[in-house]
Amino acid sequence: MKINNQFTINAKKDDVWNFFMDAEKIAECVPGCKEIFMISPTKYDSVIDVKIQFMTITFKTRGELLKAIDKERIIVEMNGKSIGFGLFQNKLTVNLLEIENNETLVDYEMDIHLTGKLASLGKVLMKGTITKTSEEFAENVQRLFQYS
């Protein structure tokens, strides 16, 4: 399942880049992120609660920065599992484009693969949950830059 979207941040591209290169700062904006553990500068583990309609599923995840093109693009792979619900894999590509001096467009694509009960919940339900969560993340990031 692929999800493409974009949002604008009222900040310089350099500042947005620095934010996306700091997994601990990103974790503060991820809805449901309870913990993050840095393994190395490019790898981290996290615990994330995801609300899917009438239930909350806790995932243990591992993220890894696969590629970084300075101030232009990052590619991150995240793998997660939840006891009894299955696994997911997400390859996230983020492109940054300076619109104006203090405005940056964040264009992203998620390529998500689900197994187990997650897959059986249905593409429409899961896509809706993932889209809602990514929109909340974008709002949190925008708010963070608004007050910094």
DSSP character string of 33-98: EEEEEEEETTEEEEEEEEEETTEEEEEEEEEEEEEEETTTEEEEEEEEEETTTEEEEEEEEEEEEE
Q: Please give the pLDDT value at position 4.
A: 94
Q: Please give the pLDDT value at position 148.
A: 65
Residue 100 scores a pLDDT above 90: no
Residue 98 scores a pLDDT above 70: yes
* CATH code of the domain containing 28: 3.30.530.20
pTM, two decimal places: 0.90
Q: Which domain holds residue 85?
A: 2-146
Q: Please give the pLDDT value at position 110.
A: 95
Q: How confident is the model at residue 106 (pLDDT cuts 50, 70, 90)?
A: very high
Q: How many domains does the chain have?
A: 1
Q: Please give the pLDDT value at position 109.
A: 97
